[in-house]
């Protein structure tokens, strides 16, 4: 049986427990600590009643204050929306050309457009519109598939490219090889010619020039400068999207071309956001 005794040094009673000559003192907790402990217990009980706390089978206790973090976020977003409403109303009521001419609207549109771009466009086109070789075009140069004017950019953002929207931009390069339109030697010849055009030294009088004139010039232009109205890229420079600019990759594209797709953002974003995006993209460095 444990024997309680008084410690000769501290004057404190022991608990009666002893290990290898070491006795355990029965020292009470400091009063301030006890008060704080019970205060936290009272606080916790109050919190259970005031705030959402306990999970239930089909939900949770709501709390007498009716507080929720989602509700707080909704109120904050609503407050921000009201604060921005004046600027957004002006942007929605203006065309993109007028927005660029108004320095205050332009500053706001560029800031809003950058945020919208990073949230919606950067995953494909890269930060700052640098693009991804072999997949997504750069938006920071002066080379455009569907045109680089403000109206062109806004149209492309609104309705996208090759999607299910009835107003989407649509054009597809024929499968010259797969569909048997051109033979292997013709594809090789036209690939040679396209590469020579890209190097600013078109092989005049070659078999490839004849194949190009008969099959490709109607969309890409006789000089390979492209047609924005058809989404046909220029072939007379070293800017490539799906190919690497050598004969093999050009021939592969002629044989069985790749086609990109872009969502119709009018189905996801409001009109003012689309206008801000158009202005932002137009000012990335390559807007016409």
Which regions of 9-105 does DSSP assign to beta strands (E)?
A: 14-19, 22-25, 55-56, 59-60
- Residue 282 marked in a binding site: no
Distance, CA of 216 to CA of 214 (rounded, Å): 6
- Residue 75 marked in a binding site: no
- Residue 17 marked in a binding site: no
- Residue 220 marked in a binding site: yes
- Residue 1 marked in a binding site: no
Burial bucket for residue 43 (CB in 10 Å: 0-12, 13-18, 19+) = exposed
Cβ partners under 8 Å of residue 251, min gap 6 = 187, 188, 191
- Residue 216 marked in a binding site: yes
Long-range Cβ contact pairs of 113-118 (< 8 A, separation 24 or more): 113/276, 113/277, 113/278, 113/279, 113/280, 113/281, 114/280, 116/269, 116/273, 116/276, 116/277, 116/280, 117/277, 117/280, 117/281
Binding-site residue positions for heme c? 121, 124-125, 173, 216, 219-220, 262
Binding-site residue positions? 121, 124-125, 173, 216, 219-220, 262
């Amino acid at each position: 049986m444990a024997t309680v005794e008084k410690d000769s040094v501290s004057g404190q009673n022991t608990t009666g427990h002893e290990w290898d000559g070491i006795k355990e003192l029965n020292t009470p907790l400091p009063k301030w600590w006890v008060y704080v402990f019970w205060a936290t217990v009272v606080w916790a009980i109050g919190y259970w009643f005031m705030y959402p706390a306990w999970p239930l089978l089909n939900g949770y206790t709501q709390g007498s204050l009716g507080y929720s973090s989602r509700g707080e976020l909704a109120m904050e977003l609503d407050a921000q929306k009201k604060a921005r409403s004046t600027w957004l109303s002006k942007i929605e009521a203006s065309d993109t050309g007028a927005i660029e001419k108004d320095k205050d609207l332009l500053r706001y549109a560029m800031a809003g457009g950058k945020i919208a771009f990073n949230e919606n466009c950067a995953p494909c086109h890269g930060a700052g519109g640098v693009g991804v070789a072999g997949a997504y075009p750069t938006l920071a140069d002066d080379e455009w598939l569907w045109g680089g004017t403000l109206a062109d950019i806004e149209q492309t953002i609104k309705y996208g490219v090759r999607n299910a929207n009835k107003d989407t931009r649509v054009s597809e390069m024929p499968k010259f090889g797969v569909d048997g339109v051109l033979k292997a030697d013709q594809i090789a010849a036209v690939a040679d010619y396209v590469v020579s055009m890209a190097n600013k030294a078109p092989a005049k009088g070659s078999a490839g020039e004849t194949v190009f004139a008969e099959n490709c010039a109607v969309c890409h232009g006789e000089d390979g400068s492209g047609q924005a109205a058809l989404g046909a890229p220029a072939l007379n420079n070293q800017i490539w999207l799906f190919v690497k600019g050598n004969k093999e990759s050009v021939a592969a594209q002629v044989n069985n071309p790749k086609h990109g797709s872009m969502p119709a953002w009018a189905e996801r974003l409001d009109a003012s956001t689309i206008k801000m995006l158009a202005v932002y993209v137009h000012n990335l460095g390559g807007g016409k």
